[in-house]
Chains A and B, each alone.
Chain A
Amino acid sequence: MTLPRIRPATWDRDTGPFFAAAAERRLVYKHCNACGRGNHVPTPSCRFCGSTDTAWREAEGKGTLYTWTTVTHPVHPAYPAPYTVVIVTLEAAPDVRLTGSVPGAPDLAPGQPMEVWFEDLGEGCVLPNWRPA
């Protein structure tokens, strides 16, 4: 990928801490202290119970493959096909599903173990990404 990838906005007050943690090679998600469920995408209050008693919690970078798609029709010069978008269920918080990207068209199976890795996009911007464990 020679062209610059799309970079995530890291300044948003609700979602920025996810990327700030990633810059420190830590994976975090929003946890609800009231009902105990994980929230992703991260919001100021819990989407399951409405409580504002939520906090960022660090998770081990382990998950299982929930679904995926191999993109064969390219639409963006920085993302040449084929590549495979993966959606991973976080082991520590089964309500949390995170996105990753795997090169090419790998053989994948539902539920297979996945592990996080941290992709450095430069200038302090780091993306938590996922690959088969």
Chain B
Amino acid sequence: MARADDYAPFRDRCAIAGIGRTEFSRDSGRSELALATEAARAAMADAGLTADDIDGVVRCQMDHNSASAMTGALALRNVGFSADVAVGGDAPCAMVGVAVAAVLSGQARHVLVYRSLNGRSEGRLGAAIAPRPEAGGHGNYDEFFTPYGLLTAPQSFALLARRHMIEYGTTEEHFGAVAIACREHANRTPHAQMHGKPLDMTQYLASRMISDPLRLFDCCLETDGAAAVIVTTAERAKDLAQPPALIRATAHAPATGMSGGMMFPSITWEEPLKLAPRNVARQLWARAGLGPQDMDVAQIYDCFTISLMLQLEQYGLCGEGESGPFVASGAISADGGSIPVNTDGGNMSGGYIHGLNHIVEGVRQMRGTADVQVKDAETCLVTSGPMGISSAMVLRRAA
């Protein structure tokens, strides 16, 4: 068994020095490569770096833009490290972890981490997973799910939401409280896709059912856009253009009793309402030497309302099974909540950049430049998607 201080050596030794993002829209009218390079150039400019300074590239394995494509498009002449990190929305915090590993092992000095997708106008992530006439094989296990009509992410998460209602008495108004909190933050964030579109409980309950108990407004957005961050050492970051957001710790851990396959098999795992976050949390708090009580703000991966709720429980921000009453109490609101969550609207109302958007907002909070700034925030929990081998990190404001 590893000791907590096995991981102490990387605490606060790296930082996010630059952030960039494109407009978030329903139709970018541009290629995913054009979006990715715009976000990357914005992050480099934000940090005060040039293409010649970037010597590492980390890609999400679902991104259509390869590290080579980015290296070429950005004319990065000095790349000495590249990596693909899986899987999809579970990956972003782990991508930062890989960048930290590259920087601390001397394989790179400034690592570009990016995610780009035309998630609305080109490949909709809410669409059916297996439209082919035969499903499964080669360890994706779709043969046990899609023939029965279990075809999409909302349907898969609806099974978890129903089980949460069965075990804990969670109500539809509890799910609605998450959607409304995210929307309220988005309405104070000009960059958010749902800015200017208020949502109240009456509207939430009137929204059409997609796969019960999940309604339209329990589902995140599908977005065209890109985001990027630059990881370097804390020492170098001090001399760059922005106040560094220190990377206190990153973590990357599996669910208990899990299998391969994308998403659908999660309902067959040992702990469907805990999934990977149960184990990511334990590892993260040990590596960080901090706990949920030390967090001032949190950016929690919210592909659906239920995904955010089960993470509130597993990261210890509320008790097991208590996320419903917790969110209904206003606890995740930036207006006086005990732990403001998804201060830019998150995936639900800000924009769906597959979780890299949560990292960008976490950095903005640590700089003190967020649109919905949590006063004197010094620590931020950032999480990625809860299925598969998931990841999370703690950011800290530099002293």
Whether B209 and A72, one on each chain, are in contact in the complex, defined by CB atoms closer than 8 angstroms, is: yes
Per-position binary interface string of chain A over residues 41-67, scored 1 when its CB falls under 8 Å from any chain B CB and 0 otherwise: 101000110000000000000000011
Roughly how many angstroms separate A14 CA and B139 CA in the complex, as a whole number?
Answer: 8
Write out, one digit per residue, whether chain B residues 233-265 have a CB within 8 A of any chain A CB (1) or not (0).
000000000000000000000000111010001
Most buried by A among B150, B208, B210: B150
B209 and A73 contact, CB distance less than 8 A: yes
Does A122 sit within 8 A of B, measured CB to CB? no
Partner of A75, one of B147, B151, B213, B261: B151
Residue of A40, A75, A100, A110 ringed by the most chain B CB atoms within 10 A? A75
- Docked complex Cα distance between A71 and B211 (Å): 4
Complex partner residue of A97 from B131, B148, B151, B267, CB under 8 angstroms:
B267
- Asked whether, in the complex, the Cβ of B259 is within 8 Å of the Cβ of A76, the reply is no
Residues in B lying within 8 Å of A, measured CB to CB: 127-128, 130-139, 141-152, 154-155, 158-163, 166, 208-214, 257-259, 261, 265, 267-268, 270
Measured between beta carbons, the chain B residues less than 8 angstroms from A87 are 159, 267
* Cβ contacts A to B, 6 pairs, < 8 Å: A6-B135, A8-B144, A69-B162, A69-B213, A87-B159, A121-B147
Q: Once the chains bind, are A48 and B144 in contact (CB under 8 Å)? A: no
Please tell me if the beta carbons of B211 and A70 are within 8 angstroms of each other in the complex. Answer: yes
Apart from A43-B259, A73-B211, A76-B128, list 16 A-B contacts with CB within 8 A. Answer: A6-B147, A9-B136, A9-B137, A12-B138, A12-B139, A12-B143, A14-B139, A15-B141, A18-B144, A69-B158, A75-B152, A83-B149, A85-B155, A87-B267, A98-B144, A127-B147
Instruction: Given A47-B259, A85-B159, decide whether A41 and B211 contact each other with a Cβ distance below 8 A.
Output: no
| B113, chain A: closest CB distance, angstroms | 31
Q: How many angstroms between the C-alpha atoms of A69 and B182 in the bound complex? A: 25
B133 touches A4 (CB 8 A): yes
Q: Is the CB of B131 within 8 A of A8?
A: no
Kindly state the separation between the CA atoms of A87 and B145 in the bound complex, as whole angstroms. Answer: 10
Interface centre among A8, A14, A83, A127 (most CB of B within 10 A): A8
B208 touches A72 (CB 8 A): yes
CA distance A68 to B158 in the complex (A): 8
Interface contacts (Cβ under 8 Å), in number, total 126
- When chains A and B are docked, how far (Å) is the Cα of A127 from the Cα of B350? 41
Q: Name the contact of B270 in the complex, choosing from A19, A75, A95, A110 (C-beta under 8 A).
A: A95
Let me know if A7 and B134 touch, CB within 8 A: yes
User: B154: shortest Cβ distance to chain A, in Å?
Assistant: 8
CA–CA, A6 to B134, complex, Å? Answer: 6
A33 contacts B by Cβ under 8 Å: no
Residue of A nearest to B213 (CB): A69
- Classify chain A: how many residues form its interface, as a range: 35 or more
Residues of B within 8 A of A98 (CB): 144
Let me know if A41 and B144 touch, CB within 8 A.
yes
Residues of B within 8 A of A68 (CB): 159, 162
Contacting residue for A6 out of B132, B139, B154, CB 8 A: B132
Instruction: Give the residues in chain B near A41, CB-CB below 8 Å.
Output: 141, 144, 259, 261, 265, 268
CB distance from A12 to the nearest CB of B (A): 4
The smallest beta-carbon distance between A112 and chain B, in angstroms, is 11
A7 nearest CB neighbor, chain B only: B134
Most buried by A among B161, B166, B268: B268
Task: A119 to B150: give the CA distance in the assembly, Å.
Answer: 16
Inside 8 A of A69's CB, which chain B residues have their CB?
155, 158-159, 161-162, 211-214
**Bound CA–CA A40/B265 (angstroms):** 9
Residues from chain A with a CB closer than 8 A to the CB of B130 are 6
Contact A15 B159, CB 8 Å, known A69-B211, A95-B270? no
Instruction: Name the B residues within 8 Å of A101 (CB-CB).
Output: 148-149
Q: Which chain B residues border A18 with CB–CB below 8 Å?
A: 144
A53 to B375 Cα, complex, angstroms: 57
Q: How far is the CA of A127 from the CA of B134 in the complex (A)?
A: 13
Q: Does A79 contact B (CB under 8 A)?
A: yes
Given contacts A41-B268, A99-B145, contact A76 B131 (CB under 8 A): yes
